Structure 1
Amino acid sequence: MDKRYGESLDDWAKQTPKSPKKDLNQTSVADVMYTEASRLNSEKRYKEALTLINVAIEHNETDFEYYTKKGTVLENLNRFSESYECYMKALELEENDNTKEQLARMLYKWANSLNDKAKALELIEEAILILPESCRDTYHERFWYLKGSILDCLSRPIDSRRSYLIAEGMTDEIKELDRQVEFLKTSKDTLINITGTRFYFGLEPFKRGMVVNLIRETDNEHDPDAIRVEFEGETVGYVANNDYTLIENVKSASEIRKMENDKAEVVLVYLDEYVIAKLI
């Protein structure tokens, strides 16, 4: 055991210089405990550090730095909910950017550790909100990428895509995404999604305004409602017809199979994945 760490807490007080006018007071004992807790924390001796920072707080319950340090120690012990309480107590005592930064960092770490993605989303959103402007450049990209990843897991592709674009600072692409979302919500056209493109030529052939042929495959043994999509005599995909390939505001192959339309015009490639076309 480190010689500086005695058998009892009294050993710590004995090391503290006496004031020439008065004995060691509670505030100076607290300062000693805080200093040594910081040292132990930096040495990854987190349980010992927690013991000392608790004593520091017992001697002085009004110093926000003590609670911030306790929050950091608990974070290092992966005791995130307790760490959160300490950071919030520190901010209650004195609002400051240093504690906010450490709280935001802890929330990121906590969110990244969870299998409960709904809870993780709450945490990373709080981290983004509380992060001080002065350190946004340090954490901005990392936080928004994590949010995007969590939204992916929650099957929220639009919000996920927007988060990734925010992480990369791609403002023009964010505006285009918003335009596409609004178009899908408000379009009066009958829209379809062309899927399975990766099995043919990928997204490369699809350009806005190109017209494709819709070929109904009534003898398709896997799906009698299947509609093949052709361009210049080549199969380029199929009209989406299941929950895995459909998105909101588009019609499935089953829904349009009895319609007379045998052509569609490509209007956009959505989220770099979905080819959206309107029946013509």
Structure 2
Amino acid sequence: MSLSPTPMPPVTGATRLVGMVGDPIRQAKSPENFNPLFARRRIDAVMVPFEVASARFEADMPALLRLANLDGIVVTMPFKTRIMPMLDRVDEAARQVGAVNAARRRMDGTWEGGIFDGVGLVGAVRSLGLQPAGLRVGLIGAGGAGSAIAFALAGQGVRSLSVADQDAGRAADLAGRVAATGASAASVSALDLAQLDLLVNASPVGMREGDPAPVELFGLRADLAVVDIVTRPATALLKAAERAGCRHAGGTAMVAAQTAAIVDFLGLAPGESHSLSQQD
């Protein structure tokens, strides 16, 4: 028997706002994930998409941040790096990655940013019954999401991290930055699946119908766990993982963990408000 969805509470003058900022924004799915979670947690808040023109971001975004009933921002492309100078502080993970995908208004009115792609990936791995510590990990993709994932996995104590990317220089740069934290990380031209415990696809390969797997599948075996952050439910990599008997998770598992982590970060509890303004 299926459970009925949690009814959405009415939006009132007391409802707090959380913005989803990007350009373009029509494709964004975050409001569909955050608003039901707000309802389930009985948080009087609503996520609203804001399309801020890229050419005007530096002029318009500071004004948006001054809205007194705006308590949080979720940031998507192309603003994850550009928003950083507008924030009063960012956490260590965001500094390492050089990007922010969520920001919150603190009780004193200042803004703090963080990055949660890596937190979401760790949550997806744990949803498979695994802990990252001690795993040999192969990471495909050294872009923004891949960078956040690499630092998060390193922080969880993985045994080794091998990074592959179509841009060899980008892979080498990411591996070098992760290795500088004391973790075992190296860039490779091709991943050897036989030497891995966990394979993570953080590249865009798989987003389009008909995309091949992002890696040669020789060596794919049942005791290799696979996470593909692409949110399509059946990528070529996930289909191959299922056929091989691998524990596997798609992008929806990462999104669920990331969404919950961001809501926790925002700190909006039922009936609470971060606004410094007086009620009418």
- TM-score, length basis structure 1: 0.25
- Higher helix fraction: Structure 1 or Structure 2? 1
Instruction: Answer 1 or 2: which has greater strand percent.
Output: 2
Name which one, 1 or 2, has greater alpha-carbon Rg.
1
Per chain length, whose mean CA-contact separation is higher, i.e. which structure has more relative contact order (CA < 8 Å, sep 6+)? 2
